[in-house]
Chain A
Amino acid sequence: MIGAMNGALRRVPVWAVYLAGLLPLAWIIWLTLAGGIGVDPVKAIEHRLGRVALWFLIGGLAVSPLRRLAGLNLLRFRRAVGLTAFLYVCLHALAWIWFDMGLLWAQAAADLVKRPYLLFGMVALALMVPLAVTSNNASVRRLGPAWRRLHWLTYPAVALGVVHYLWQMKVISTEGWLWAAALAGLLVLRLPGLARLRLV
């Protein structure tokens, strides 16, 4: 079963994953233009972009445990997943400063300093910049072992993103707790004691 899936996955070109990653964006644009985004397009666009970013961030963290625990090999697509996540994080931040804050830079900056959840989101974005910039074969070759150390930043970046998501809620919803649980689970699987755990 897993073997057949891995066989099928080997025939999926990576560009197809990049393309699939653009589907949620196309959907958001379609909804906006067709008037189906709701009566508050600003928040709807901002929140949808953020949530899609979360899918890809958590999805990226799931790649190596899936391979280790279930034998499912998605490693070839991990860069596409990560870069897609970064795209949505950037669009999410852009929607915030442009549509939501109306480019009121001073108020946005003041908000950023005073409100930890915004700061967490921004720090997460900042941490992802070097990761995105070095997500290419040339950087992997040039940086050598330092590349792995640098990309360890994925963990704090995703964790800050999830905290940012939970903290902006008035009361944390079930969906919020599920994302928190997913993150916690994926991080726990990387603890030294569990890092050798195998299911198959």
Chain B
Amino acid sequence: MSKTKSPSWADVTPRADFLRRRSLIAGAGAALAFGAGPARAGLSAVPSAYSTDAKPNTLEEITSYNNFYEFGWDKGDPAKYAGALTTDPWSVEIGGLVGRPGRYDLADVLKTAPLEERIYRFRCVEAWSMVIPWIGFPLAALLARVEPQPGAKYVAFETLLRPEEMPGQRAGGIDWPYVEGLRLDEAMHPLTILASGLYGEELPRQNGAPLRLVVPWKYGFKSIKSIVKITLTAEEPRTTWKALQPREYGFYANVNPEVDHPRWSQASERRIGAGLLAGREPTLMFNGYADEVAGLYAGLDLRKNY
């Protein structure tokens, strides 16, 4: 780990202050004199050495600019329509090549390991990026709990299928439910987390509540949201975008500035929130996590396995 000290929350606008920014301005004096912010029922999480020291995007940016096609094609649709999603009760069915298959209640899943705050770079395949302060725990801890069998080589994930609450699933275009997958060693990597929170609070629905995958060295579409099923398999599982456009989206989807998307360059990216005239910044190999993950791909031709 070459990362420097964990950034402090003093660097960002606290969520409570952000949410009441208008009253902070409007109410001026009195409110400021006496108004200690409302008590926050936040998630407690310990800092992580894996966090980047880059400045996180604002909560508004992270929660209003989402690709979550279950709620519509526009990046504003998830924030508009995800409110109707029921996230309690929630359980995750874990099966396949594991010693302890079963339906695990969300509360039980979240007890797997202590929650950590992981401030990760996030790079979308569309060549934009953010920095996001996730709350979560290593997927490896959950997988260890369910005891993978020796034949297990891959992990398949599935998003909730509930068209009555997910308007995008009532439209065509994608073969719902959304599915994703990782190689088992990728899934076991300490950078790979299941996130249940953001900015110190429960995950907003448009960001994949109540439980989502975060794989920071891969394009964002690998980080599947609102997970209801995890299956360990011997064969590479079907993944939604690869099935839809195999020439454009591969199983690996590692962030790689040297391998372009057929329709655009991946050499650079636009940081959301950087401003109209900020231009682009160079994209880093494995999204800047090469020190940690390059070893997973030794000997693999990343041009063929994009």
Contacts and interface: CB of A to CB of B under 8 A. Distances in A.
Contact of A111 (B65, B174, B265): B265
B263 A99 contact: no
Nearest to A102: B279
A43 B141 CA distance: 39
B265 A32 contact: no
Contacts, number: 61
A170 to B, nearest CB: 8
Nearest to B75: A40
A171 B278 contact: no
B241 to A, nearest CB: 8
B277 A99 contact: yes
A42 B65 contact: no
Nearest to B125: A170
Given A99-B277, A117-B263, A174-B171, A39 B61 contact: yes
Q: Chain B at the A interface: mostly helix, strand, loop or mixed?
A: loop
A104 B61 contact: no
B252 interface: no
Given A40-B65, A110-B265, A115-B264, A99 B174 contact: no
A172 B174 CA distance: 11
Interface string B164-176: 0000000101100
B260 A104 contact: no
Contact of B76 (A38, A101, A107, A110): A38
Interface residues of A, number: 27
Interface string A40-51: 111101000000
Interface in A65-111: 99-104, 107, 110-111
Interface stretch (B99-107, B266-274, B293-301): B266-274
Nearest to B273: A39
Given A99-B277, A107-B267, A171 B174 contact: yes
Contacts of B262: 114-115
Interface residues of B, number: 30
B279 to A, nearest CB: 3
A168 interface: yes
B272 to A, nearest CB: 5
Contacts of B60: 39
A137 interface: no
Interface string A146-184: 000000000000000000000110111110000000000
A104 B270 contact: no
Given A107-B265, A168-B263, A100 B171 contact: no
A133 B217 CA distance: 49
Contacts of B273: 39
Interface of B: 58, 60-61, 64-65, 73, 75-76, 128, 171, 173-174, 244-245, 260, 262-265, 267-268, 270, 272-273, 275-280
Interface of A: 32, 38-43, 45, 99-104, 107, 110-111, 114-115, 117, 167-168, 170-174
Given A115-B264, A174-B171, 13 more contacts: A39-B58, A39-B60, A39-B65, A40-B75, A40-B270, A40-B272, A42-B270, A45-B276, A101-B280, A102-B280, A115-B262, A171-B173, A173-B173
29 contacts: A38-B65, A38-B76, A39-B61, A39-B64, A39-B272, A40-B75, A40-B128, A41-B275, A100-B270, A102-B278, A102-B279, A102-B280, A103-B279, A104-B268, A104-B280, A107-B265, A107-B267, A107-B268, A107-B280, A110-B265, A111-B264, A111-B265, A115-B262, A115-B263, A167-B263, A168-B263, A170-B245, A173-B73, A173-B173
Instruction: Across the A-B interface, give the 3 residue pairs with the lowest CB-CB distance, nearest first.
Output: A102-B279, A39-B61, A171-B173
